[in-house]
Amino acid sequence: MSKGSKHKDKKFGMVIDLDKCTGCGACMVACMSENNVPFKENESNKLDSITWMRVYKLENGKSFPDADICFLPRPCMHCEGDHGHAPCVSVCPAIATDYDHKTGIVSQIYTRCFGCRYCMAACPYHARYFNWWDPVWPEGMEKLLNPNVSPRMRGVVEKCSFCHHRYQLALDKAYADGRDKIEEDEYQTACTQACPANAIIFGDLDNKKHAVYSLKKNPNTFRLLERLGTNPKVYYHSSREWVRRAGDNYLKHETTKA
Amino acid sequence: MDSALIPKGVKRCSLGRFSLWMIALTAILLWGVIAMLLCWFKGLNQTNMNDAYGFALWIWADLAVIALGGGAFFTGFLKYIVGKDELKNIINYAVVIGVVCYVSALLILAIDVGQPLRSWFIFWHANVHSMLTEVAFCLSCYLVVLIIEFLPLLFENPKLDRKPFFHHLSHNMHEIMAIFAATGAFLSFFHQGSLGGVSGVLFGRPFAFREGLFIWPWTFFLFTWSAAACGPCFTILITRITEKIAKKKLVKDNVIDLLAKISGWMLGTYIIAKIFDTWYWAAYTLPKQGFSLIDFYSNNPFYGIWILIVEIFVCGIIPAVILISSKGRKNKRLFMTAIILAVIGVCINRWVMVMQTMAAPVMTFEDWFMYYPSWQEVATTILPVAFGAIFISFAYRYLPIFPQESELNPID
Amino acid sequence: MFPFCFEWVWDMSHIVFMGGLWYALGIVGAGLTYCIVKAAKESSDNHSNGDH
């Protein structure tokens, strides 16, 4: 990455408003459909099913009338770590995953991955999934697959790509129109567009014109496991202190980071 | 029938008895081969691994056999570099055990990857920043060195030794063995360490993560140290088991005593470093990340503080004290207890660094992940054990592994 | 692994890592070649001595 072009670099990320999320799962469905995510005949064991976007249910552990719940959508955090030193990227022995300094997106190269799963061991968010089986689509469904996303074979790791193919399509369109920039609404992830509550906001975290730029600065905004130094690009927002505290690990005497 | 192949001056059991022993071992081997083929043809869905347990029994087995195979490099280092000449009486067997351990490790790795046919990517498209790349390179290179160290032994078989070329080759290789041994020690230092680095660099996994020196976490040094300490104990253990099966003494006590004494000092110093590392991790590293030590030893059905106590005290301090003291080494029962405890200790260390790392929750809203292996995982883990027993049996029967055997067991 | 692989970068990490690797492989390879060549020479010498 040359220093001269640094001003053009983007840092795509999300701000997810947990107070708005209803846990409907539309983001998960949209993600699976958009990215040709395979599924099993029996999906009851969630530990080996693939969910690039996964909605967790958090509880405050209190009884009625203080009981409260929160749904937390978890895509890949596209960690920047320390200068692109994401937990999963530096460990991959075959450079099958990469941190793109131009977009801030952590990519996965399926044809390069040989399935050692070291990246999965490295990711504290469980955002990486292994293809334990070959993808099998119900008859006729293969015709409905997204032609812009390659399906993955058995034995490789996959994960959320921030719908990177949409970024490439937007760039192609801009180029055809004679533009060198794309607007905020030209590149949006499938989960963002599918969210009926408008809880997921996506954009360039470094671009002042994008909504995420100011949203990430809200005092009630936090990131998951920030203290580990993963430097994730997915931000969460909640006005509830217990939700913010659930985002990271704290010793009993420590106060939640504002 | 096979007497022409048996080294001179030693007695071996009948071919019929040996064949029966081989049939029993081959049956176990075949069970493992079936499981291995299932994993290769049907995929890793044959295992009980899952997305939370991407690393499981096989990675532990890999780490454990490489640590136990460390006896080869450390004994070689002591014999050829430090100059402990008595160890020439056990170095052959240490090399044979090393070959078994490293072949096993590579075989398990070949089963463990999702796309085995792409395994060469780790070399061709190497990411030099990954600890696993360092492991793959050094492990493969060191296996080559071990085979080179083993070849002269093979050429000393009576049949082969009659051929002038093999006779001279064996002699020449012996002549410059110190160079090979030094290269082996260099490679071993890095891959034993890198295996520690594999978990130590995971800054997203607070149970495993350690700070360190430059690019190397403390686990890098601890793994090399513990392999050098416990590898020779495994060599001694297998020697004693072989003696028990063969019903004769194969190595003189002073040789075993020297190796055990050095192991004891290595284990003692290692365990002090390990205690310091655990204290620093618990007192400084973990609190910075919002964790306390007890978070990793509570609220789950298996991993209690007992495992830390067993690893450090029962399988660390106790065997170190026994092996360091000459009285401890002279008491046969106490001595064997110490040897077994040291071997178990290093296996527990590798277990927790793999399994407990995967099991412990990092996100606050997750629970512990527990796992038990499928029969295919167990069978493929036992497969190398059967292979090892077969390899050692052949080596013992047909190669002059123990230079002191004929002196200790004269044939009338 | 080789400078012609497209991931190869001439940086310190590659030089140190691959340098160490090729150095070790070089020593092992040279040592083995020395032993084999010397053994071949010695066995042919013995053979011709035996002929006399």
CATH of the domain at A57: 3.30.70.20
Phi and psi torsions of A130, nearest 5°: -105, 140
A47/B44 touch (CB, cutoff 8 Å), yes or no: no
B129/C35 touch (CB, cutoff 8 Å), yes or no: no
pLDDT tens by residue, A54-70? 999 999 999 999 999 99
Look at A38-52, B233-247, B321-335, C34-48 and tell me which has the smallest mean pLDDT.
Answer: C34-48
Cα(C13)–Cα(C10) distance, integer angstroms? 8
Instruction: Decide if B267 touches A, using CB distance below 8 A.
Output: no
pLDDT band, residue C4 (cuts 50/70/90): confident
Look at A250-254, B240-244, B379-383, C18-22 and tell me which has the smallest mean pLDDT.
Answer: C18-22
Q: What is the DSSP string of B259-328?
A: HHHHHHHHHHHHHHHHHHHHHHIIIIIHHHTT--GGGGGSSSSS--THHHHIIIIIIIIHHHHHHHSHHH
| Whole-number Cα distances in Å, B53 to A71, B360, B373 | 24, 11, 11
Instruction: Decide if B290 touches A, using CB distance below 8 A.
Output: yes
pLDDT band, residue A5 (cuts 50/70/90): very low
Instruction: Please give the pLDDT value at position B233.
Output: 98
Beta bridge partners of A58: A70
Cα(A203)–Cα(A215) distance, integer angstroms? 11
pLDDT tens by residue, A157-198? 999 999 999 999 999 999 999 998 899 999 999 999 999 999
Angstroms from C21 CA to nearest CA on chain B: 8
Nearest Cβ partner for C42 among B129, B168, B186: B168
Select the more confidently predicted residue: A82 or C50. Answer: A82
Phi and psi torsions of A235, nearest 5°: -105, 150
Instruction: Please give the pLDDT value at position A3.
Output: 41
> Coil, strand, or helix at residue B388?
helix
Going by C-alpha positions, the residue among B97, B67, B71, B93 that lies closest to residue B260 is B71
Instruction: Please give the pLDDT value at position A201.
Output: 98
Inside any domain, residue A9: yes
Instruction: Decide if B124 touches C, using CB distance below 8 A.
Output: yes
Inside any domain, residue A174: yes
Q: Taking 80 as the threshold, does the pLDDT of residue C9 lie above it?
A: yes
**Full domain range(s) for residue A99:** 3-246
pLDDT band, residue C50 (cuts 50/70/90): low
Instruction: Please give the pLDDT value at position A83.
Output: 85
pLDDT tens by residue, A70-127? 999 999 999 999 888 999 999 999 999 999 999 999 999 999 999 999 999 999 999 9
Contact predicate B246/B314, CB 8 Å:
no
C40/B128 touch (CB, cutoff 8 Å), yes or no: no
Instruction: Decide if B165 touches C, using CB distance below 8 A.
Output: yes
Inside any domain, residue A253: no
DSSP A16: E
Contact predicate A82/A229, CB 8 Å:
yes
Among C11, C28, C44, C45, which would you mutate to test the B interface (most chain B Cβ atoms within 10 Å of its Cβ)? Answer: C28
Number of folded domains that form chain A: 1
Residues from chain B that touch A128, judged by Cβ atoms under 8 A, are 51, 54
C1/B172 touch (CB, cutoff 8 Å), yes or no: no
Contact predicate A256/A244, CB 8 Å:
yes
Inside any domain, residue A256: no
Cα(B74)–Cα(B67) distance, integer angstroms? 11
Angstroms from B260 CA to nearest CA on chain C: 30
Class of domain B49-371: mainly alpha
| Peptide bond just before A65 cis, omega within 30 deg | yes
Phi and psi torsions of B21, nearest 5°: -60, -40
Task: Report, as an integer, the average pLDDT of C17-43.
Answer: 92
Cα(C52)–Cα(C42) distance, integer angstroms? 16
Count the Cβ atoms, other than its own, within 10 Å of residue A108. 22
Instruction: Please give the pLDDT value at position A4.
Output: 40
Cα(B369)–Cα(B204) distance, integer angstroms? 16
Cα(A125)–Cα(B362) distance, integer angstroms? 8
Count the Cβ atoms, other than its own, within 10 Å of residue A211. 13
Residues from chain A that touch B125, judged by Cβ atoms under 8 A, are 94-96, 112
Q: What is the DSSP string of A176-211?
A: HTT-S---GGGS--HHHHH-TT--EEEEETT-TTSH
Instruction: Please give the pLDDT value at position A61.
Output: 93
pLDDT tens by residue, A213-234? 999 999 999 999 999 999 999 9
- Domain definitions of chain B by residue range: 49-371
- In chain A, count of helices (H) and strands (E)? 6, 10
Inside any domain, residue A252: no
Nearest Cβ partner for A120 among B51, B289, B364: B51
Going by C-alpha positions, the residue among B143, B68, B47 that lies closest to residue B349 is B68
Phi and psi torsions of A102, nearest 5°: -80, -25
Low-confidence ranges of chain B (pLDDT < 50): none
Instruction: Please give the pLDDT value at position B156.
Output: 87
Q: Taking 90 as the threshold, does the pLDDT of residue C1 lie above it?
A: no
> Coil, strand, or helix at residue C46?
helix
Question: Residues for chain A: how many in total?
Answer: 258
- Beta pairing, strands A106-108 & A129-130: unpaired
Instruction: Decide if C47 touches B, using CB distance below 8 A.
Output: yes
Going by C-alpha positions, the residue among B85, B184, B89 that lies closest to residue B142 is B184
Cα(B329)–Cα(B269) distance, integer angstroms? 18
Cα(A190)–Cα(A194) distance, integer angstroms? 6
Chains that touch A (3 or more CB pairs under 8 A): B
Inside any domain, residue A258: no
Instruction: Please give the pLDDT value at position B3.
Output: 83
Instruction: Please give the pLDDT value at position B362.
Output: 97
As a whole number, the mean pLDDT across chain A is 94
pLDDT band, residue A1 (cuts 50/70/90): very low
Instruction: Decide if C22 touches B, using CB distance below 8 A.
Output: no
ipTM over 0.85? The verdict is yes
